[in-house]
Each structure stands twice: as structure tokens, then as C-alpha cells.
């Protein structure tokens, strides 16, 4: 008997997610460390070898590709409707302080470390290209797209195409997809 590559609806329900929508596909190779803190909307697809850890809210029509890592901690990561991540994207809502004033890494007692924590938000229609890294406290405004391997270390303005290390706005992004959203969701 061949095992389905995705968890069944029953298996997902038994994991104890905070909320679970309809038509959710989560790969069996996905690591889910805190299901009680994770809400998944409807029409969500999470691919192989992805890590979900901390307070995460995922909207509807969201794709998280393979090998993505969401380290939300208590600060949280919110991914709004129609957003997506290509492979190998990493979101850090919590990070060690790398300034040199304290020790780093989880093997060191908390009294000798300092964490930087702030929520990350991907608003509607935000898309991350392969290998993007997002740092604590970033709000990616509605409709933004980010080129592969961008370092997103500050919040953005809506409907821009961004790329680079650090990511910079290159131009406006088209909004034609909003008409497609209306057709899909029956808002016409």
C-alpha cells in the first residue's frame, strides 16, 4: 500500500491546529513543531521539508514551497490570502542579537543571550522568489513581489517589485491579478 505524500484531513485535525480550513495539503515531510499555535486557511499547499515553528497564521490560497523555514516564535508570522513563497525562503520573526554584546545560539542559557523579536506580515498577493530571507519586524505590503535571494530587512510600500541585498524597490507591480481574484472568489 502506497502512502499518500500529504497528511489526510483527519491526520491534520488530530495534530491540534489552532484553526484548519478546507482543502489543505501539508506534506508528510513538513516539520510542524507548534500546531496549537498555527492557523491554516483554505486552499493551502505546504510542500516537502518545510519547517513551521511558532505562532503562524496562514490565509487562503497560499502556497509555501519546499524547504521553506518559518521561525515565528511568540512574535508571529502572518501570511495573508493569495501570498506565496518559492523554495528555500526563510522567515525569522525571532533572531539572536549579533552585535557582540551578548552570547548567541540556543545552547547558551537565556540570561546570557538577547533575542530580537518582532512580527512578520506578508499582506495579500505578496510573493517571495527562491531563497529570500525576511528579518524580524518586516511588513511586506500588499502586492509586492521579491526577486530570488532578496534580503528583506525593512517594511515595503504596496505593489512594488523588489530585489537585492538588501531588497530595494525597482518598479511598480501590475494589479491585473486583482481581477482574477474577483473571478475566482465570485466577487464579480
Say yes or no to pLDDT of 2 above 80. Answer: no
What percentage of residues in the chain have a pLDDT greater than 90? 96
Written as one string, the DSSP assignment of 28-87 is TT-EES-GGGEEE-SSEEE-TT-EEEEEEEE-SSEEE-TT-EEEEEEEEEEE-TT-EE-T
Mean pLDDT value of segment 142-169: 98
User: Domain boundaries in the chain?
Assistant: 33-185
Rounded Cα distance between 120 and 55, Å, is 11
- Predicted confidence (pLDDT) per residue in 52-106, tens digit: 999 999 999 999 999 999 999 999 999 999 999 999 999 999 999 999 999 999 9
Of 173, 166, 100, the residue nearest 132 (C-alpha)? 166
This prediction has a pTM of: 0.95
Locate 29 and state its grid cell. 515531510
pLDDT, average across residues 108-119? 95
- By the 8 A CB rule, do 102 and 63 touch? no
CATH no. for 33-185? 2.160.10.10
Question: Nearest-CA neighbor of 158 among 145, 168, 143?
Answer: 143
Contact 18, 39 (CB under 8 A): yes
Q: Across all residues in the chain, what is the average pLDDT?
A: 96
The enclosing H or E element of 116 equals strand 115-117
Residue 1: per-residue pLDDT: 61
* Residue 102 grid cell: 551578548
Amino acid at each position: 500500500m502506497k502512502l499518500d505524500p500529504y497528511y489526510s484531513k483527519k491526520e491534520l485535525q488530530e495534530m491540534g491546529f489552532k484553526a484548519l480550513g478546507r482543502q489543505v495539503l501539508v506534506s508528510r515531510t513538513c516539520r510542524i513543531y507548534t500546531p496549537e499555535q498555527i492557523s491554516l486557511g483554505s486552499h493551502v499547499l505546504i510542500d516537502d521539508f518545510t519547517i513551521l515553528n511558532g505562532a503562524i497564521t496562514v490565509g487562503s490560497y497560499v502556497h509555501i514551497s519546499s524547504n521553506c523555514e518559518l521561525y515565528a516564535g511568540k512574535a508571529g508570522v502572518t501570511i495573508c490570502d493569495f501570498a506565496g513563497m518559492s523554495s528555500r525562503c526563510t522567515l525569522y520573526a525571532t533572531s539572536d542579537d549579533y552585535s557582540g554584546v551578548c552570547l548567541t545560539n540556543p545552547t547558551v542559557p537565556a540570561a546570557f543571550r538577547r533575542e530580537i523579536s518582532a512580527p512578520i506580515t506578508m499582506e495579500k498577493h505578496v510573493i517571495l522568489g527562491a531563497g529570500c530571507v525576511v528579518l524580524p519586524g518586516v511588513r511586506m505590503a500588499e502586492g509586492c513581489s521579491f526577486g530570488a535571494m532578496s534580503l528583506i530587512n525593512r517594511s515595503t510600500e504596496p505593489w512594488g517589485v523588489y530585489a537585492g541585498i538588501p531588497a530595494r524597490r525597482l518598479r511598480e507591480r501590475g494589479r491585473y491579478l486583482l481581477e482574477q481574484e474577483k473571478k475566482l472568489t465570485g466577487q464579480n
